[in-house]
Structure 1
Amino acid sequence: MTSIAFIGLGIMGSPMAVHLQQAGHDVVGYNLHPDKTQPLVDAGGRAAGSVAEAVEDVDVVAVMVPDSPDVQDVLTGEGGVFDSAKPGTLVIDFSSIRPDVTAELAKTAKEKGFRLLDAPVSGGEAGAKNAALSIMVGGDGADFEEAKPLFDGVGKTVVHVGGNGAGQTVKAANQLIVAANIQALAEAVTFLDAYDVDLEAALDVLGGGLAGSKVLDQKRGNMAKHDFTPGFRIDLHHKDMGIVTSAAREAGVVVPLGALVAQLMASARANGDGGLDHSALLRGVERLSGRLAG
């Protein structure tokens, strides 16, 4: 059994923390909105009233918060992890943030006697609920091996991809591919609808050929039913596309499709769709095509 503080119990963090508790670990959770700790408590875990209270005397601190400033605040802020956890604690950041910020945080962690792994995840709410996430891990190899049983408790595909920051770099590439696939699927759905094709039949046959993808499998229902209940919000994917385009520019890499999709994601957000699932890129295509209803 490992004692774990889990900071950030949102759409992704809550089921992940519950899985770790159910696997036999001792999990204490903290969230800015205290009601979000209830699923963990119902599973046998505990709730803390602050980051400092949560991380005191645990073996591992897991973090799952929205953006780079949030991770920085949790780790380096007053009463944060680096102020309150015992030296030697392993910190696993499941958040998706800028690779350069991760590298700097890892350096600070080492200076203060902590160990940091960046371990962003892919798979959305369904992957978190089913413990089937894909986890790309950056950091020390020995730390990765120590944390592997915890990763296996929440994920299905777990790969050590390099040093600190490598996990975040791979996640940025993941988000580029996912966004481009969602946009392409949205355009295909709008195109098919314009010709009154049986959408379900069309998606069945497309899914069985080279056009098939996990994005098609997981997002076709959202688009067919226009049900954009968030599994992964456009707001967060907008943030991730900013990471992609910024990091690509720093590396001198051209990502023309990525830049276009980043703008379409920004447009969706500007039009009030930021709180919807990223499959709501369909609404952007419909909006541009004069086919958006309601």
Structure 2
Amino acid sequence: MSKLGFIGLGIMGGPMALNLQKGGYEIFACDLKKVPDALIEGGAVVCATAREVAEKADIIFTMLPNTPDVGKVLFSENGVAEGLTPGKIVIDHSSIAPKETREYAAKINELGCEYIDAPVSGGDVGAQAGTLAIMCGGNQDAFDRAKPMLDCMGQNVTLVGANGIGQMTKICNQIIVGNTIEAVAEALLLAARAGADPRKVHAALAGGWADSLVFQNHGKRMIERNFEPGGRIELHRKDLNLALAEGYALGVPLPNTATTHALWNACVGAGGIAWDHSAIIKALEAMSGFEIGDEA
């Protein structure tokens, strides 16, 4: 059975690595902070550097915040690239820029190794449950080899196209999710301002065309004022910035995406960079001078 490396063990990466471990795989783990106790208790080997992970593992997974973070982990001194030998696979679950993804893949390919960009959707709940949607860019042979491991972490694992297309698919996902969160915030705020109980409105719309996982989960967060991060504004705003850059480069207008991005910018200006992305409602509330918990 393949030996697996995992670098980046935060809100998402930690439970993803744990699900690989539960699948029977030996894990070599590395993180700037502490490797989760649950992984260590399950037998994970803690490595001091990304290079050490790559030396010991056959397939190396990364889950990192942003494009420069991935580049640093892969190619800096004591990075993944220094520990690779031909035939290994690098799988990046981070949500980063498609252009840089293709560049990273080319460098890894030059070392005789394969690269799969495999960003995920489903949040911390999906990471814990092993039910993520995983959208992959890479070649078929590498994907087929990695598929049993990816299935430990996700219930919808798809090879969408060549390197970079997985990241582009994730950008599309983030457009849909972000704009839906914004729409839910508008609707609940309007209902509350009109004198309706947002909890009852939320219940009344369940099962209809307006219903969705975003409506259920993020609508509930807005009503309960629970903005502890599952998905941080900082990261979703970054993804929409990537979307707007790709739209500009390709001549594709993204007007609703630009509005959602601007509202998250307003949250950041109010000190909310680490809030959950459902806190977009706070920007709308500030503009209207009304919170959904206020009396109409």
State the TM bucket, normalised to the shorter chain: over 0.9
1:254 match: 253
- What amino acid maps onto 1:22 in structure 2? K
TM-score of the superposed pair, with normalisation by structure 2: 0.96
Provide the identity percentage.
38
**Preserved contact between residue 85 and residue 111 of structure 2 (Cα < 8 Å):** no
User: Runs of 5+ in structure 2 lacking a partner?
Assistant: none
Q: Which letter does structure 2 place at the counterpart of 1:142?
A: D
For structure 1, the residue ranges without an aligned partner over 5 or more in a row are: none
**Paired residue for 1:243?**
242
List aligned pairs for 1:29-108, cutoff 5 A. Answer: 29-34=29-34, 36-108=35-107
Tell me the secondary structure at the aligned position of residue 209 of structure 1: coil
2:264 is aligned to: 265
CA distance in 1, matches of 2:251, 2:185: 30
Question: Which amino acid letter does the alignment assign opposite residue 134 of structure 1?
Answer: A
The amino acid that maps onto 1:194 is: R
Distance 2:99 2:206 in 1: 37
Greater Cα offset, 270-279 or 11-20: 270-279
Structure 1 residues 284, 115: closer, same or farther in 2, change over 3 A?
Answer: same
Cα distance in structure 2, aligned partners of 1:212 and 1:191 = 17
RMSD in angstroms over aligned alpha carbons? 1.4
Q: TM-score, normalised by structure 1?
A: 0.96
* Segment of structure 1 superposing worse, 222-231 or 37-46: 37-46
The reply to whether residue 117 of structure 1 matches residue 116 of structure 2 is: yes
> Aligned to 2:99, what secondary structure does the other structure show?
helix
Q: Answer yes or no: is the 8 Å Cα contact 2:54–2:81 preserved in 1.
A: no
Asked if the contact 1:96–1:240 (Cα under 8 Å) also holds between the matched residues in 2, the reply is yes
State the alpha-carbon separation in 2 of the partners of residues 17 and 224 from structure 1. 32
CA shift digits 1:79-131 (9 cap, x unpaired): 11111122221000000000001011111111122210000000101110110
Counterpart residue identity of residue 278, structure 2: S
Give the superposition deviation at 1:62: 0.0
Name 2:175's counterpart in structure 1.
176
Deviation of the 1:57 alpha carbon: 2.5
CA contact (8 A) 2:12 2:127 kept: yes
State the SS of the aligned residue for 1:56: helix
Give the corresponding residue for 2:190.
191
CA–CA separation in structure 2 for the residues paired with 1:205 and 1:162 = 40
3-state DSSP of counterpart to 2:156 = strand
1:122 is matched by which residue type in structure 2? S
Q: Residue 195 of structure 1: CA displacement?
A: 2.5
8 Å contact from structure 1 (residues 95, 119) kept in 2 = yes
Equivalent in the alignment of 1:17: 17
Aligned 8 A contact 1:223 1:282 in 2: yes
- Letter aligned with residue 192 of structure 1: A
Matched-pair contact (CA < 8 Å) for 1:37–1:47: no
SS in 2 for 1:164: coil
Checking the alignment, whether the CA contact within 8 Å between 2:135 and 2:160 is kept in structure 1 is: yes
Mean CA deviation greater in 177-186 or 78-87: 78-87
What corresponds to 1:278 in structure 2? 277
Query: Which residue of structure 2 aligns with residue 6 of structure 1?
Result: 6
Look up the match of 1:133. 132
- The residue number in structure 2 matching 1:218 is 217
Alignment of 1:141-156 (within 5 A): 141-156=140-155
